[in-house]
Amino acid sequence: MSREEYISELRARIAHLPREEQEAAMSYYIEYLQEASDKTMEEIIAELGTPRDVAERIIADYSQSETYRQNNSGAKGCLFGILLVLTSPVWLTILLTVLILMLVFGVLAITFLVLSAWLLFIYPATALVVAGAALMMAALTLLCIVLLGAAGKGVKKLASAFRAYDRG
């Protein structure tokens, strides 16, 4: 194998890497081969390895580099999006149920409060029972609001943990 064949095979094996990575690696190995002009190709291959071995080292080094992580961070974001879409029947159903319950409990709380005010002058004992029901509906409305807030914080924590994993 000649020096030109060695370089050509090495270039072909790392062709899928970004242009900057290819150029940096190729300039290093071309310079190395030029400086080792007094050695035979067998000696050079014994030192460096075959073009395949060298290409594997270059690819392994690149896959550990920060550039690789930056170039492949979109894949994890895409995975997060796919996960959101696939689980949407579950979380969307729960979200809509909580929102509907919050609306129903809120409307019932207001209705029972108005009804208890009207009944206060006609049937005072019944008015107290209806006022109690209005307070229970108001409490359930607040519980739904708290649940939505907790769910929002949980999603925010999950997203920040995913971003931290994505960077790490």
* CA-to-CA separations, 38 to 9, 31, 33, 35, 89, in angstroms, rounded: 22, 13, 10, 8, 69
**Which residue type sits at 155?**
V
Residue with tokens 């896959």: 63
Under 8 Å between Cβ of 140 and 133: no
Residue with tokens 């920060």: 66
pLDDT of residue 58: 86
Task: List per-residue pLDDT tens for the chain, 168 residues long.
Answer: 788 888 888 888 888 888 888 888 888 888 888 888 788 888 888 888 888 888 888 888 877 775 555 555 555 667 777 888 898 899 899 999 999 999 999 999 999 999 999 999 999 999 999 999 999 999 999 999 999 999 889 888 877 777 666 555
Length of the chain in terms of residues written: 168
Indicate the domain borders of the chain. 3-69, 73-167
**Which residue type sits at 132?**
G
